[in-house]
Amino acid sequence: MKTLNDLLDAAAQASPGKTAYATPEGSVTFAALRGRVMKAAAGLQGLGVGRQDCVAIVHRNGVEFIVAYFAAARIGAVAVPVNFMVQKADELAFILNDCKAAGVVTQREFLPGLRKAITATPDLRHVWVTDAEECKGIERPFSSLLSHEVSPTATAVGEEDVAAILYTSGTTGQPKGVMLTHRNLVTNALGAVEIFGLRPSDVGLCILPMFHSFSWTGTVLVCLALRSKLVISPAIVPAKPWLKMMGRHGVSIVAAVPQVYGVLAKEAKGLKGLVLRHWFFRRVRLAISGAAPLSAAIAEVFERAMGIPVLEGYGLTETSPVATANTLSERRPGSVGRPIRGVAVKIFDDAERELPVGGEGEICIKGDNVMKGYYNLADATREVFTKDGWLKSGDIGVIDEEGFLYIRDRKKDMIIVKGLKVFSAQVEAKLLDHPAVSEAAIIGVPDEHHDEMIKAFIVLNKDARATEADLMQWCREKLDPYKRPRTVEIVGSLPKNALQKVLKRELRRGELEKRASSG
């Protein structure tokens, strides 16, 4: 199988009546899924959407998300899943303009932000709303795409064609579009199936947002490749609805971020813990963790409380995303495992020389899963690859004698909040827009769930009178919820080196010392 279309066709042909997706609204078979995709693809073609045109998706988890994605793939167009937590019109407009999106598939709850963004997106021609029949302007019900009874005109789609563009936050402020080909996504899904030892009889769970590559490849594409059922929750909070669905459908494979495992481990006590383990998780045989570092403490507590092994993997949006993973037969505490099939990992120094076993340096990756490049950013693409074609991850790591990879630190200045990347430069830029702020620096500090939360250190302009509460209100107005600092501290100065670069390691060290002294 070379393309996403091949995956879908094979599943519909081999298991037409089998349940593909179970949602709160009901179930959909593989044959019905393909039928909807074909109708939507014909609908897109009828409106002039064609090869390499972009179709953005601003939508919570659901069958409509999947139909829109695969309808674009069917006609050689490009799906652009957008983080629905991006609610600021300027950032939405940037993404839609950068990829020249022909249309957007969305839901009513995201229309206010989209309507503001649309005023600055001249190339956008269509907005399809999946949960509304009455629309205005260029908005149309998504159901209008499904009214076509004819099949879409056949389009040659190759494995090296771009299937999706995923926007990842940029260190200099603007997001970069990661171009993933059909080959990237299909081979990565098949590699994940193999390394985790997944089976057609498994039942998957999708609670992480589908715009995230870990969720899309690790649940949607993996289950499609296996022709197995996927239980889909539109949101991760509240947990009660998807926990009930787990028990009802007999979920056997869970993919989540470390914070989820931390919360579940705390809940697995007393009578509530008995219900959790023996009903909701009664058939779960494997948990997979990704998108953020999993602490050994969380893994140990979860495994002891639930009796379920947790396998940690590692990857990037640029690697589709899975690059390495532990297996049930071979895993090492603190490690993110060994490379999956078709992927190679090396450790390089700053001069792009490979380091020996045990050498600490930048993790570099090569393989079928590595992106085609950044959309319309030739210079940025050149910079992220070595002269020999290895993708530079921006993370620091070590490989041991047995080939297991250990993450030591993040070279990139980013914070991961609930599995979502937040680059410091973006938040700091918004803080510096405040008229009272002279300097700003943010860091990630662990919260009570061992997740990261954002803390901001602010130096005010001389004679400025802004308070920490004023700055928190500014953040609420200017930043999306997951990018907002949880705490703000006004300081007299920031630690800097000779080049006047802020020494964030000193800020982090100070936070650790404060916690130790108070603890």
328: left (phi over 0), alpha (psi -120 to 50) or beta: alpha
Distance from C-alpha of 354 to C-alpha of 21, rounded to nearest angstrom: 44
Q: Is the peptide bond before 175 cis (omega within 30 degrees of 0)?
A: no
Q: Residue 497 has what pLDDT? A: 61
Average pLDDT over residues 154-171: 88
Distance from C-alpha of 401 to C-alpha of 283, rounded to nearest angstrom: 36
Q: At residue 242, does pLDDT exceed 70? A: yes
3-class secondary structure, 392 = strand
Q: Of all helices (H) and strands (E), which one includes residue 416? A: strand 414-417
Q: Residue 88 has what pLDDT? A: 81
Average pLDDT over residues 493-514: 79
3-class secondary structure, 191 = helix
pLDDT digits (tens, 9 = 90+) for 344-353: 999 999 899 9
Distance from C-alpha of 244 to C-alpha of 233, rounded to nearest angstrom: 11
Distance from C-alpha of 99 to C-alpha of 261, rounded to nearest angstrom: 36
Higher pLDDT, 430 or 516: 430
Structural contact between residues 320 and 217, judged by C-beta atoms closer than 8 angstroms: yes
DSSP state of 226: H
Nearest to 124 by CA among 174, 156, 89: 89
Query: Looking at the chain, how many residues does it have?
Result: 519
361-378 CB burial, b ≥16 within 10 A, e <16: bbbbbbbbbbbbbbbebe
Q: At residue 501, does pLDDT exceed 80? A: no
**In this structure, what token pair is assigned to residue 106?**
């969305």
Domain 4-178 bears CATH identifier 3.30.590.20: no
pLDDT digits (tens, 9 = 90+) for 6-44: 999 999 999 999 999 999 999 999 999 999 999 999 999
Binning pLDDT at 50, 70 and 90, where does residue 506 land? confident
Could you tell me the pTM of the whole model?
Answer: 0.85
48: left (phi over 0), alpha (psi -120 to 50) or beta: left
Q: Is 186 exposed, middle or buried, given 0-12, 13-18 or 19+ CB atoms closer than 10 A? A: buried
Q: Residue 362 has what pLDDT? A: 94
**In this structure, what token pair is assigned to residue 273?**
């813990």
Q: At residue 132, does pLDDT exceed 60? A: yes
Q: Is 336 exposed, middle or buried, given 0-12, 13-18 or 19+ CB atoms closer than 10 A? A: buried
Binning pLDDT at 50, 70 and 90, where does residue 75 land? very high
Handedness of CA 3, 5, 326, 370 (dihedral sign): positive
Average pLDDT over residues 77-96: 92
Q: Residue 448 has what pLDDT? A: 74
Higher pLDDT, 464 or 373: 373
Structural contact between residues 454 and 422, judged by C-beta atoms closer than 8 angstroms: yes
Higher pLDDT, 275 or 155: 155
Q: Residue 67 has what pLDDT? A: 98
Binning pLDDT at 50, 70 and 90, where does residue 343 land? very high
Higher pLDDT, 350 or 377: 377
Q: Residue 300 has what pLDDT? A: 87
Superfamily of domain 184-410: ANL, N-terminal domain (3.40.50.12780)
Residue 13, CB-side half-sphere exposure with 13 Å CA sphere: 6
Lay out the sheet containing 310-315: strands in order across: 26-29, 19-23, 230-232, 204-206, 253-256, 286-289, 310-315, 322-325, 338-339
**In this structure, what token pair is assigned to residue 13?**
């042909």
**In this structure, what token pair is assigned to residue 153?**
């005109």
Higher pLDDT, 412 or 197: 197
Q: Residue 150 has what pLDDT? A: 78
Q: Which of 55-69, 74-88, 159-173, 407-421 has the lowest mean pLDDT?
A: 407-421
Q: What is the CATH number of domain 414-518?
A: 3.30.300.30
Average pLDDT over residues 118-122: 93
Q: Residue 519 has what pLDDT? A: 59
Q: At residue 218, does pLDDT exceed 80? A: yes
> What mean pLDDT is reported for the chain?
91
Q: At residue 420, does pLDDT exceed 90? A: no
Structural contact between residues 230 and 22, judged by C-beta atoms closer than 8 angstroms: yes
**Amino acid, single-letter form, for residue 211:** F
Q: At residue 498, does pLDDT exceed 60? A: no
Q: At residue 151, does pLDDT exceed 70? A: yes
pLDDT digits (tens, 9 = 90+) for 190-211: 999 999 999 999 999 999 999 9
Binning pLDDT at 50, 70 and 90, where does residue 233 land? very high
Structural contact between residues 50 and 163, judged by C-beta atoms closer than 8 angstroms: no
3-class secondary structure, 269 = coil
Structural contact between residues 384 and 417, judged by C-beta atoms closer than 8 angstroms: no
**Domain chopping of the chain, boundaries:** 4-178, 184-410, 414-518
Q: At residue 181, does pLDDT exceed 80? A: yes
Average pLDDT over residues 342-370: 95
**In this structure, what token pair is assigned to residue 284?**
């779960």
Q: At residue 314, does pLDDT exceed 90? A: yes
Distance from C-alpha of 418 to C-alpha of 239, rounded to nearest angstrom: 15
Higher pLDDT, 106 or 237: 106
Distance from C-alpha of 122 to C-alpha of 97, rounded to nearest angstrom: 8
Binning pLDDT at 50, 70 and 90, where does residue 170 land? low
Higher pLDDT, 450 or 266: 266
Residue 353, CB-side half-sphere exposure with 13 Å CA sphere: 4
Q: Residue 412 has what pLDDT? A: 67
**In this structure, what token pair is assigned to residue 138?**
């260029």
3-class secondary structure, 485 = coil
Residue 374, CB-side half-sphere exposure with 13 Å CA sphere: 19
Q: Do domains 4-178 and 184-410 have the same CATH topology?
A: yes
Q: Residue 99 has what pLDDT? A: 97
Distance from C-alpha of 417 to C-alpha of 415, rounded to nearest angstrom: 6
Distance from C-alpha of 231 to C-alpha of 215, rounded to nearest angstrom: 12
Provide the strand spans (E) within 8-160: 19-23, 26-29, 54-58, 78-81, 101-106, 126-129, 139-141
Average pLDDT over residues 220-226: 98
Binning pLDDT at 50, 70 and 90, where does residue 154 land? confident
Average pLDDT over residues 68-74: 98
Average pLDDT over residues 242-266: 91
Distance from C-alpha of 293 to C-alpha of 446, rounded to nearest angstrom: 12
**In this structure, what token pair is assigned to residue 224?**
């499609």
Q: Which is it for strands 452-460 and 487-490: parallel, antiparallel or unpaired?
A: parallel
403: left (phi over 0), alpha (psi -120 to 50) or beta: left
Of all residues in the chain, the percent with pLDDT exceeding 70 is 96
